[in-house]
Amino acid sequence: MKRLLSVILLAIALVTVAFGRPAWAGDEVSGAKVFSANCAACHMGGNNVIMANKTLKKEALEKYQMNSLDAIMTQVKNGKNAMPAFGGRLTAAQIEDVAAYVLGQSGKGW
């Protein structure tokens, strides 16, 4: 009986690890606050008021190869074109959180 229980628990653990939802390194709840305070003026609802085609929507993130946590974190930290760099204004944790929020929202369709 103990052996059967061990096998069942092991199977549950393996299924959970193999098919579990991937976790973002950042905290989306905190990222939502950072986004609201720093990004929403230009990116409300995942849009882009400066460069209309470069939105934060899933399709645009994929098209411009910005669909990873690292890519978004680099963009937020260093800026590019009309987007200012936030590396001097936000902590590394805040940048990671806002990147997780953007990825999460893009997956939900904003």
**pLDDT by residue, tens only, the chain of 110 residues:** 777 656 665 667 665 555 544 444 799 999 999 999 999 999 999 999 999 999 999 999 999 999 999 999 999 999 999 999 999 999 999 999 999 999 999 999 99
Residue 48 placed within a domain: yes
Position 83 scores a pLDDT of 96
Reported pTM? 0.77
Domain of residue 53, residue span: 26-108
Cβ distance 58 to 67 under 8 Å? Answer: yes
Residue 20 placed within a domain: no
Residue 15 placed within a domain: no
Q: Is 1 annotated as a binding residue?
A: no
Residue 30 placed within a domain: yes
- For residue 95, what is the domain's CATH number? 1.10.760.10
From the CB of residue 63, how many other CB atoms can be counted at a distance below 10 Å? 13
Residue 16 placed within a domain: no
Number of structural domains in the chain: 1
Please return the burial class of 42, using the count of CB atoms within 10 Å of its CB with bins 0-12, 13-18 and 19+.
middle
Q: Is 73 annotated as a binding residue?
A: no
Residue 55 placed within a domain: yes
Q: What is the pLDDT of residues 69-100, one digit of tens each?
A: 999 999 999 999 999 999 999 999 999 999 99
Residue 1 placed within a domain: no
DSSP, collapsed to helix, strand or coil, labels residue 80 as: strand
